[in-house]
Amino acid sequence: MPELATATLPQMPACAHRPRPYDGPSREEVLAQRRAHYNPAVFTYYREPLMIVEGHMQYLFDDTGRRYLDLIAGIATVSCGHCHPKITARVTEQIARLQHATTLYLHPTLPRYAEKLLDKLPDDLDTVYFVNSGSEANDLAITMARLYTGRRDVIAVRNAYHGGVATALGLTSHHTWKYPIPHGEGVHHAVCPDPYRSPFDGTPEQIAEKSAEDLADLVRFTTSGRIAAYIAEPIQGVGGTTYGAPGYLERAYQVAREHGGLCISDEVQTGFGRTGDHYWGFERSGVVPDMVTMAKGIGGGFPLAAVVTRREIAEPLAQRIHFNTYAGNPVSMAAGLAALEVIDEDGLQENARAVGGHLKAGLERLAAKHTLIGVVRGMGLMLGVELVRDRLTKEPANTETIEVMEAARGLGLLLGKGGLYGNVLRIKPPLCISREDADFAIEVLDLALSEVSGQVPPSA
């Protein structure tokens, strides 16, 4: 990015937090050690990987003490803000008292937290099983659905991401994540209802209807006609913040139930107030799932996930021994309970609605100015900006997306990336960001998009 006079650069809102001086190994040493010993599949963002050593609410600090506005929150995870004082205090207290004993013994936080979590869900979703990650939650949900129905076939949605363990990888629908090894036994993928890259023509509502019809065809043509489950993210996260018009999920649930399937809502990204208008993504469609899987925002940054369902659906799991070592770990339970309280006490869902709306309006203003933006999607603080080289052909602007991220990082803004083609800027910050932070982000993006568009060849 060319040198710009400091005065013209966007100024990040002030922050009183001062990071502790970093005195650990250098970034270069850490990078070399990681490259030498860590699995090469684990990648970093940025040409010069960033080393983050401290966090404070919506801000992160690198090893030099430089502050960044975090618009990706550990991938939609640190919803309450980095090192939120209440979560930190509760976890610290628990760590000093008891770190692990397993569910073979009673501990008071597990049932207390379970009760409070279930209060956030429709009444008949009355049974929870805590696990450690979103992948595990989806794996367990599919196991329970198959046991309950006695059936094998599961319908997922194209462009979905449900995790990386074998069952979840089978549900995931991106060739970029799927290894050429066996997975996804009995899984079939229905058309993604998002209108931007839909194989169908028409209004978003017509596309939603045709996508639901495709789902019915899929069941009729590829299964026995009776299925175990239909699983969908109300808004696809890794897929680039994609979703169907109102009406899609209602119809999809109807089709799944007509064919005997349980409906699973993967709320790993959309849960816990992130979408602003609702606490859960499924509420936007007025549907009630049979199972809800959750992770990320549930734990305020700690490894925690859960599957919630009705007792009758959970019961068949008890026909054999089922055990998960870290499930219900007291430190995770303390973190989850604290995060649940913080989301309400700090008004984070409402902040996601208000600041998210403000941010989306700013992004739409940028779309009116920068042809590199194909579409702005999302709600609350789950937003996506799809970059294309040509608005008619929708050729994905994937290298430009990387350049925008690099330029934004140079200006103090951290973004995420997603979509099948890697051409969607993903914005999923801690839910505590302010309007001023949002304004700063828009200024940075404006500058970054201007710089990057200047680099695009005229034909593009």
Ligand X SMILES: Cc1ncc(COP(=O)(O)O)c(C=O)c1O
- Site for ligand X, rule CB under 6 A: 75, 133-135, 138, 161-163, 233, 237-238, 266, 268-269, 295
Q: What is the side-by-side order of every strand in the sheet holding 67-70?
A: 52-56, 59-62, 67-70, 413-414
**What is the smallest separation between the CB atom of 296 and ligand X, expressed in angstroms?**
7
User: Which letter does DSSP use for residue 299 in this model?
Assistant: G
Q: Tell me whether residue 264 or residue 447 sits nearer to ligand X (CB atom).
A: 264
**What is the smallest separation between the CB atom of 71 and ligand X, expressed in angstroms?**
16
**What is the smallest separation between the CB atom of 292 and ligand X, expressed in angstroms?**
12
The C-alpha angle with vertex 243 and arms to 342 and 159, in degrees rounded to 5, equals 105
**Class of residue 249 by CB neighbours under 10 A (exposed 0-12, middle 13-18, buried 19+):** buried
Q: Where are the alpha helices (DSSP H) in 202-307?
A: 204-222, 248-258
Q: What is the DSSP string of 99-143?
A: ----TTS--THHHHHHHHHHTTS-TT--EEEEESSHHHHHHHHHH
Both structure tokens of 374? 């194909």
Residues 155 and 219: beta-carbon distance below 8 Å: yes
Q: Tell me whether residue 249 or residue 367 sits nearer to ligand X (CB atom).
A: 249
Q: Tell me whether residue 267 or residue 451 sits nearer to ligand X (CB atom).
A: 267
Q: Tell me whether residue 121 or residue 169 sits nearer to ligand X (CB atom).
A: 169
List 268's β-bridge partners, or say none.
Answer: none
Q: Tell me whether residue 87 or residue 171 sits nearer to ligand X (CB atom).
A: 171
Give the integer Cα–Cα distance in Å for 386 and 196. 10
Helix (H) or strand (E) holding 305: strand 305-309
CA distances from 248 to 123, 235, 254, 326 (A): 24, 12, 10, 37
**What is the smallest separation between the CB atom of 268 and ligand X, expressed in angstroms?**
4
Both structure tokens of 104? 């073979």
| Chain mean position to CA 118 | 21
User: Which letter does DSSP use for residue 239 in this model?
Assistant: T
Q: Tell me whether residue 144 or residue 411 sits nearer to ligand X (CB atom).
A: 144
CB-nearest residue to ligand X: 134
User: Which letter does DSSP use for residue 443 in this model?
Assistant: H
Q: Tell me whether residue 421 or residue 440 sits nearer to ligand X (CB atom).
A: 421
Q: Tell me whether residue 237 or residue 362 sits nearer to ligand X (CB atom).
A: 237
**What is the smallest separation between the CB atom of 270 and ligand X, expressed in angstroms?**
8
Give the integer Cα–Cα distance in Å for 159 and 153. 19
Q: Tell me whether residue 187 or residue 238 sits nearer to ligand X (CB atom).
A: 238
